A and B are shown apart, each in its own frame.
Chain A
Amino acid sequence: MQYTITVNGTPRSVDVDGETPLLWVLRDTLDLKGTKFGCGAAQCGACTVHIDGHPARACQTPIATVGKAAITTIEAIGQSKIGQHVQAAWIALDVPQCGYCQAGQIMSATALLERTPAPTDHDINEAMSGNLCRCATYTRIRAAIKQAAETVRT
Chain B
Amino acid sequence: MLARRNFLKVSLLAGGGLLLSASIPATAKAASLGKAGPDAVALNAYVRIAPDGKVTITAKNPEIGQGVKMMLPMLIAEELDADWASVQIEQADLDARYPGQVAGGSTATPLNWLPLRQVGAAGRQMLIGAAAAEWSVSAAECETAPGEVLHKPSGRRLSYGALASKAAAQPVPNLATIKLKDPKAFRIIGQPIRNLEVPRIVTGQPMFGIDVSVPGMLYAVFQKCDVHGGKLVSSNVAEIRKLPGVKAAFEVKGGNDLRGLLDGVAVVAENWWQANRARQQLDIIWNEGDIGGQSSGDFAATAVRMSKGKPESILRSDGDAKAAFGKAAHVVEAAYSYPFLSHINLEPQNCTAHYANGKLEIWAPTQNPAPGAKLVASTLGIPETAITVHMTRVGGGFGRRLSNDYMVEAAWIAKVAGAPVKLLWTREDDMRHDFYRPAGFHFFKGGVDAKGQLIALSDHFVTFSENGAIAASADMGPAEFPARMVENLEFGVSMIPLRTPTGPLRAPRSNGLGFAFQSFLDELAHASGRDPVQFALDILGAPRLLPDPPGPRQGPGFHTGRMRGVIELAAEKAGWGKKTLPKGTGMGLAYYFSHLGYFAEVVQASVSAGGAITVEKIWVAGDIGSQIINPLNAENQAQGAALDGIGTALGQGLTVENGRIVQGNFDSVLPLRMRQAPPVEVHFRVTEFPPTGLGEPALPPALPALANAIFAATGRRIRSLPLKDHDLSTTA
A contact set with B: CB distance below 8 Å = 9, 16-17, 19-21, 24, 27-29, 31-41, 43-44, 46, 53, 73-76, 78-81, 84, 86-88, 90-91, 94-103, 106, 114, 124-126, 128-142
A99 x B395 contact (CB < 8 A): yes
Contact A138 B7 (CB under 8 A): no
Is B729 positioned at the interface, with any CB of A under 8 Å from its CB? Answer: no
| B671 part of interface (Cβ distance < 8 Å) | yes
Q: Are A36 and B202 in touch, CB under 8 angstroms?
A: no
A25 to chain B, nearest CB (A): 9
Say whether B203 contacts A95, CB under 8 Å.
no
Interface size on B, residues (CB 8 A): 77
Complex Cα distance, B630 from A97, in Å, reads 13
> In the complex the two chains form, what is the Cα distance from A137 to B636 in whole Å?
7
Asked whether B273 lies within 8 Å of A84 as measured between CB atoms, the reply is no
Q: Which of B23, B26, B272 has the most CB of A within 10 A?
A: B23
Asked whether A78 and B23 contact (CB < 8 A) given A35-B204, A43-B665, the answer is: yes
> Please, which residues of chain B bring their CB within 8 A of the CB of A135?
65, 346, 396, 640, 644
| A94-B208 contact, Cβ under 8 Å, with A38-B347, A142-B674 | no
Instruction: Return the CB mask of B143-172 against A: 1 if under 8 Å, else 0.
Output: 000000000000000000000000000000
The 7 lowest CB-CB distance pairs between A and B, nearest first, are A34-B204, A98-B65, A100-B395, A74-B204, A136-B643, A138-B677, A97-B65
Is the pair B204, A103 in contact by a Cβ cutoff of 8 Å? yes
A78 touches B203 (CB 8 A): yes
CB-CB under 8 A from B67, the residues of chain A are: 97
Task: Give B617-641 interface residues, CB cut-off 8 Å to A.
Answer: 632-633, 636-637, 639-641
Residues of B in contact with A (beta carbons under 8 Å apart): 1, 4, 7-9, 11-12, 16, 19-20, 23-24, 26, 64-67, 192, 194-195, 197-199, 201-208, 210-211, 213, 219, 244-245, 271-274, 277, 344-348, 393-398, 424, 426-427, 632-633, 636-637, 639-641, 643-644, 647, 665-667, 671-675, 677, 679-680
Query: Is A98 within 8 A of B667, CB to CB?
Result: no
Partner of B203, one of A20, A87, A138, A141: A87
Residue pair B198, A136 in contact (C-beta under 8 Å): no
Check if A97 sits within 8 Å of B672, measured CB to CB. no
Whether the Cβ atoms of B647 and A28 lie closer than 8 Å is no
How many Cβ-Cβ contacts under 8 Å join chain A to chain B?
Answer: 211
Report chain A residues within 8 Å CB of B12.
9, 79
* Interchain nearest-CB distance for A54 vs B (Å): 11
**In the complex, A40 Cα to B277 Cα: how many Å?**
12
Q: Name the distance in Å between B202's Cβ and chain A's nearest Cβ.
A: 4
Q: Is the CB of B673 within 8 A of A129?
A: yes
CB distance from A135 to the nearest CB of B (A): 5
Residue of A nearest to B16 (CB): A79
CB pairs A–B below 8 angstroms (8 shown): A9-B16, A17-B273, A24-B271, A24-B272, A98-B394, A99-B197, A100-B208, A142-B677
Decide yes or no: A81 and B7 within 8 Å by CB, A98-B394, A100-B396 being known contacts.
yes
User: What A residues does B640 contact at CB under 8 A?
Assistant: 97, 135-137
Residues of B within 8 A of A91 (CB): 24, 26, 194, 198-199, 202
- Whether the Cβ atoms of B671 and A132 lie closer than 8 Å is yes
Tell whether A134 pairs with B396 under 8 Å between CB atoms, given A17-B274, A140-B636: yes
Contact B674 A131 (CB under 8 A): yes
* B217 shortest CB reach to chain A, Å: 9
Enumerate chain B residues within 8 angstroms of A136, measured Cβ to Cβ: 639-641, 643-644, 647, 672, 677
